[in-house]
Amino acid sequence: MKDNYIRFDWSIKRLLRQKANFGVLEGFFTVLLDEKVEIIEMLESNDQMQNYYKFNRVDIKAKNSKGEIIIVEVQNIHEMPFRERVVYDATKGITEHISLDESYYEAKKIYSISIFYFDIGKGNDYLYHGQNIFTGVHTGDRLEVSVKGKYLLVHKLPAELLPEYFLIRVNEFNQVAVTPLEEWLGYLKDGTIRPDTTVPGLMEAREKLLYHNMSDGERYAYNEYLSDLMIQNDALEGSKLEGFQEGLEEIRQQRLQQGVLQERNEIAANMKKLGLDIPLISQATGLTPEEIAKL
């Protein structure tokens, strides 16, 4: 029997917040960031609207062994201002985790990881990465910023200090998984994990995220979540289809009106050529004398 694994967006809500399951997320971060990542603790968000977003505010904030903060958000349902919110949450992540009595030197680097299950725009890749880079307008060189270290000045690029953004377009992944990152995308998209996988995080997921290992209560809540998600997606698709059909009908009516107007103009122009009086033409076609004069 094929193993059935819990979806990542559900597990990140509950299971992956537990210290015993940190290995799954550590593996994901390690593969994505291409460096060894160890989670020290989960951080709480001060966002009072967190419970309002049933499907879109699935987030985790973790601090790694270097003191950097990693934010993960999963969005299943399309949300118009998602770009602005990604930037807002990254900025908020900095201010939330620096004390009022601390120096700005204590501000932590933020990694913002957004996982989308809907179309967010044009592009051929399933993974996009953005950094803050300051380039000389005239010289083309990259600016290095001098920052105060413990005992001396340390020269760093802005990308080493300012937030990094990863946008993962899950639905755009349509290829055979070859690399560790592609194996992770396969799991994010359809919940599949190779039985012989050696990818960090996925090995742990095979043991900890099995559907049949859930309690009856967890299984019921999980199935209800999937049902609600399906209903929500169906409702959105229905709204899109209804809007599309309304748009087609509006175009059809506009074309009909344009055809009627064109026909009236042609009739009026022919009557004008025959030397008929403008008041008579206006009465016959419904056009104003000014409109007839322009023909």
SS (H, E, C) the chain: CCCCECCHHHHCCCHHHCHHHHHHHHHHHHHHHCCCCCEEEEECCCCCCHHHCCCCCEEEEEEECCCCEEEEEEECCCCCCHHHHHHHHHHHHHHHCCCCCCCHHHCCCEEEEEEECCCCCCCCCCEEEEECCCECCCCCCECCEEEECCCCEEEECHHHCCCEEEEEEHHHCCCCCCCHHHHHHHHHHHCCCCCCCCCCCHHHHHHHCEHHHCCHHHHHHHHHHHHHHHHHHHHHHHHHHHHHHHHHHHHHHHHHHHHHHHHHHHHHHHHHHCCCCHHHHHHHHCCCHHHHHCC
Whether this model's pTM surpasses 0.85: no
Q: How many CB atoms lie within 10 A of CB 243?
A: 10
Quick one: angle between helices 22-33 and 180-190, nearest 10?
Answer: 130
Q: How many CB atoms lie within 10 A of CB 131?
A: 12
pLDDT by residue, tens only, the chain of 295 residues? 457 888 888 888 778 888 888 999 999 999 999 888 888 888 765 444 444 344 445 468 888 888 888 888 888 776 667 778 788 888 787 777 676 556 666 677 889 999 988 888 888 899 999 887 788 999 998 887 665 555 545 555 666 678 899 999 998 999 888 999 999 999 999 888 999 999 999 999 998 888 877 778 788 888 887 777 777 766 556 555 555 556 655 766 676 677 677 778 888 788 778 778 888 878 877 788 888 887 7
Cβ(200)–Cβ(26) below 8 Å: yes
